[in-house]
């Protein structure tokens, strides 16, 4: 007995798809990817297990879609705030914005890490292509925005910079989200303070440094 009204037109289908994405994202806040199973997602979404597969061919595809959605959300916010700088941004301010927007999405970097480790391992060509196209488009757009915000960036350097920052964030999330036991080790054992990263603080410092590096290379021959 189907409890839910059928989604007969595209709008309803998109709406249902959205419900699933949000269910998955919600579960991901508090659980590791492996701990989340499709039954949970379906339950949170108020749908049946089989229904999930009407919208996403695999678990990986589902979370890749979550990834895409969150990525767009982050990039949108990021660009909006960067635009607010009005072309007079400096390294520190840009770094601040990146940290602030990411701090509001603590699970996003964790999702990034899974992207390359798990999600991309089990999808089909069109899905991979679509995702990469999206990512490419946004990276390029972000690059343009960065170039507009940071006067010292030369044309074309923005996208590269965006990718590097993205790369650094990918690593940073892993170091700043240790397993509970490791967190305990760091907290209790003397000398382990070096590992007691704070994401926001590190992000701020490292991205600033990085941008300063870029600025000071601007007169050298390109990377």
Partner DNA sequence: AATGAATGAGGATTCATTCAT
Partner DNA sequence: TATGAATGAATCCTCATTCAT
Binding mask 157-196 for a second copy (x = CB under 8 A): --x---xx-xxxxxxx-xx-xxx-xx-xxx--x-xx-xx-
What is d(CA 202, CA 199) in angstroms, rounded to the nearest whole number?
5
Least separation in angstroms between residue 16's CB and DNA is 5
Q: Are 109 and 102 in contact (CB under 8 A)?
A: yes
> Can you spell out the DSSP letters for 98-136?
HHHHHHT-TTHHHHHHHHHHTGGGS--HHHHHHHHHHHH
Dihedral sign, Cα of residue 119, residue 61, residue 50, residue 110: positive
Q: Which is nearer to DNA, 19 or 205 (CB)?
A: 19
Q: For the chain, how many residues are written?
A: 223
Q: Are 110 and 218 in contact (CB under 8 A)?
A: no
**How many Cβ atoms from other residues are within 10 Å of residue 122's Cβ?**
12
What is d(CA 181, CA 187) in angstroms, rounded to the nearest whole number?
10
Residues 121-140 that bind DNA (CB under 7 A): 122
Of 53-61, 95-103, 106-114, 183-191, the segment contacting DNA by CB under 7 A is 53-61
Least separation in angstroms between residue 174's CB and a second copy is 4
Binding mask 26-65 for a second copy (x = CB under 8 A): ------x---------------------------------
What is d(CA 87, CA 149) in angstroms, rounded to the nearest whole number?
4
Could you give the 3-state DSSP secondary structure of residue 222?
Answer: coil
Q: Residue 69's binding partner, choosing from DNA, a second copy, none, with beta-carbon cut-off 5 to 8 A by kind? A: none
**Binding positions for DNA, rule: CB under 7 A:** 1-8, 13, 16, 34-39, 47-51, 53-54, 57-60, 122
**Binding positions for a second copy, rule: CB under 8 A:** 32, 113-117, 120-121, 123-125, 128-129, 132-133, 135-136, 139-140, 159, 163-164, 166-172, 174-175, 177-179, 181-182, 184-186, 189, 191-192, 194-195, 202, 205-206, 208-217, 223
């Amino acid at each position: 007995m189907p409890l839910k009204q059928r989604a007969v037109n595209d709008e309803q289908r998109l709406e249902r798809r959205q419900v699933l994405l949000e269910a998955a994202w919600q579960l991901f806040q508090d659980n590791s990817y492996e701990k989340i199973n499709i039954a949970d997602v379906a339950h949170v979404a108020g749908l049946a297990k089989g229904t999930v597969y009407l919208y996403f061919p695999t678990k990986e595809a589902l979370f890749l879609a979550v990834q895409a959605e969150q990525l767009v959300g982050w990039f949108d916010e990021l660009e909006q705030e960067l635009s607010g700088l009005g072309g007079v941004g400096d390294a520190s301010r840009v770094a601040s914005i990146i940290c602030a927007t990411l701090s509001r999405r603590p699970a996003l970097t964790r999702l990034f890490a899974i992207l390359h480790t798990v999600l991309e391992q089990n999808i089909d060509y069109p899905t991979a292509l679509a995702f990469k196209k999206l990512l490419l488009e946004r990276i390029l757009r972000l690059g343009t925005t960065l170039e507009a915000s940071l006067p010292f960036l030369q044309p074309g350097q923005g996208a590269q910079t965006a990718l590097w920052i993205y790369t650094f964030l990918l690593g940073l999330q892993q170091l700043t989200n240790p397993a509970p036991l490791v967190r305990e080790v760091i907290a209790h054992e003397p000398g382990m303070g070096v590992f007691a990263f704070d994401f926001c603080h590190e992000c701020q410092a490292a991205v600033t440094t990085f941008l300063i590096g870029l600025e000071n290379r601007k007169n050298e021959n390109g990377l």
